[in-house]
Structure 1
Amino acid sequence: LKLQLEELVGDNDTARELIVRDYHANPDAPSAAQVSATLDELDSLSDNELLDFTTLARVFGYPSTAEAQDSAMSSRGYRAMAGIPRLQFAHVDLLVRSFGSLQGLLAATSDDLQSVEGIGSMWARHIREGLSQLAESTIADRLA
């Protein structure tokens, strides 16, 4: 029963960390300390506070002004890249820091990916294929 529950619920700790990495206000990818502090602060919020966008914006490091709440947010790509099999977090972090956003990663060619230190031609092709599959499945999901 415990295994079934874990399979249904998944690894929430990892998912929460990746969400913080994707959307934290730090213009660069957030540091491990910032991620940890944000997760701790999220854990301390009540259910009502978790539903308040102003509170969430503050926790994620955004100003609580009306203008800030109206601005668009885009994913850095940590969660998407985590779905690519056998890709280590260190490589994901290097790639996200190099390309800055999920859109930047999706637009990258194999040669662009290979230009990142530590990413060889074989890994670049594997990553490019994973990103292409992600884009295709996202489009298919939207059309369904």
Structure 2
Amino acid sequence: MSIGRLPDEIAQLAPGTPLRDGLDRIVSGHTGALVVLGTNPELEAISTGGFAIDVPFNATRMRELAKMDGAIVLSTDLTRIVAAAVHLSPAADIPTTETGTRHRTAERVAKQVGVPVVTVSASMDTISLFAGAGRQIVPRPDQLLDRVGQALSAIQGNRTRLNASLERLTGLEVHDSVTLRDLAHVAQRFELTNRLADEATSYITAMGGDGRLAALQLRDLVDDLTPVSSLVQRDYVAEQEAMPFARLARLDDQELFDIVLVARSLGFAPELHLDSPMRPRGYRQLASIPRLPARVRGELVERFGDLNGLFAASTAELTTVEGVTADIARQVRDGLTHISEKALAG
């Protein structure tokens, strides 16, 4: 399912940024470099030699300084070159999976001082980002574009399956036959779509200004996920309880495909099994009725208890609810009838 999320720090290296311009110039010059993206007391403690320059950052200046041995240190906001030709001496007992001297140093520095470090490989013409405990080879713009395309395609496919799951849930709600299994399947689809959207966001961010159109496409695909998810959860979770779908973020990708584990992660009573019946309150169906205020929806659910009670209520009974006029009552009655007929026809 996953095609690999990029770290947040990758945005600092997006195409079109001054830093990326400087790194691309170093790649073109085949000289290699080690660049520390920020400074702190911990970094200063392991730094020796070199010289402080504290000059405004520009790509040409960094390219020339990369011709010297040692690290280039930038200010935390990346607007200034603080020092150059700096020798870094991180603790030798910090584990590293790298083999080259430059990359081993970069990984250890990032782990020890908590500041991102970028390396340029002279032999491979690649840019690598070390942030925290991981290394990420910085994708070229064409690679990013390909990843964005894959992610958006995956989101589109999963969104289609999510919509089908929601339509099926509506049919089951009309027939009063929803089970915990059905709710778990819908929750699973929401979480899968959210994870794919999170990955796509990381690629689009890494594209910088070139990702604007892709960002619009992504927003079009997922912009309504949060409100729909909230309505589903309000239908099946007590008002005072936290929304359970967020708990699925704790599962890894493989665990997310285990429907039993998904159901347990939602936090319902342990004695419930997958075929335990679930009864919706009706928030989601009421929200599909045009121009029905949220306050009125809440009053209706409070008065009639659940979706079955709403389906059974007559127009006259609906008007006994505070804020429900005769016109609103007919609108609600017609809307619920349409939902029922559509589900039965499907």
Shorter-chain-normalised TM-score: which range? 0.7 to 0.9
Q: Which runs of 5+ in 2 are unaligned?
A: 1-212
SS at match of 1:47: coil
| Match of residue 22, structure 1, among 235, 249, 258 | 235
Instruction: Indicate the residue corresponding to 2:247 in structure 1.
Output: 41
Give the structure 2 partner of residue 93 of structure 1: 298
Question: What corresponds to 2:325 in structure 1?
Answer: 120
Q: Specify the alignment match of 2:288 in structure 1.
A: 83
Residue type at the aligned position of 2:232 = I
Task: Give yes or no for contact 2:280–2:306 (8 Å, CA) kept in 1.
Answer: yes
- Code of the residue aligned with 2:256 in structure 1: it is L
2:269 aligns to what? 63
Could you tell me how far apart the structure 1 residues matched to 2:242 and 2:292 are? Answer: 21
TM-aligned CA distance change 1:87 to 1:48, over 3 Å: farther
The alignment covers a number of residue pairs equal to: 133
Structure showing greater Rg: 2
**Relative contact order, higher structure (CA 8 A, sep 6+):** 1
Query: How many angstroms does 1:57 deviate by?
Result: 3.6
Is residue 248–residue 266 contact of structure 2 (8 Å, CA) maintained in 1? no
What is the Cα deviation at residue 8 of structure 1? Answer: 4.0
Q: Which has the higher helix share?
A: 1
The aligned counterpart of 2:257 is: 51
Deviation at 1:50, TM superposition (A): 3.4
Kept in 1, the 8 Å contact 2:281–2:306? The answer is yes
Deviations 1:73-131, CA, capped at 9 Å, x for gaps:
12221111111001122211221222222111111111111111221222111111111
When structure 1 is superposed on structure 2, of 115-124 and 77-86 the one drifting more is 115-124
Deviation at 1:46, TM superposition (A): 2.9
The residue type equivalent to 1:19 in the other structure is V
**Runs of 4+ more than 6 Å apart:** none
Task: Give the conservation status (yes or no) of the 8 Å contact 1:57–1:63.
Answer: no
In structure 2, what is the Cα distance between the partners aligned to 1:128 and 1:93? 16
Taking structure 1 as reference, are residues 43 and 113 closer, same or farther at Cα in structure 2, changes over 3 Å only? Answer: farther
Check whether the contact 2:255–2:261 (CA below 8 A) recurs between aligned residues. Answer: yes
Look up the match of 2:226. Answer: 13
**TM-score, structure 1 as length reference:** 0.75
Supply the AA of the counterpart residue of 1:96: V
Query: In 2, are the aligned partners of 1:23 and 1:75 still within 8 Å (CA)?
Result: yes
SS at 1:13 equivalent: helix
Which structure: greater strand fraction?
2
Deviation of 1:4 after TM superposition, in Å, equals: 4.8
1:106 equivalent to 2:311? Answer yes
Distance 1:127 1:96 in 2: 12
Cα separation, partners in 2 of 1:46 and 1:23, compared to 1, 3 Å: farther
TM-score scaled by structure 2?
0.35
> How far apart in 1 are the matches of 2:255 and 2:299?
34
Structure 1 stretches lacking a partner, 5+ long: none
Amino acid at match of 2:318: L
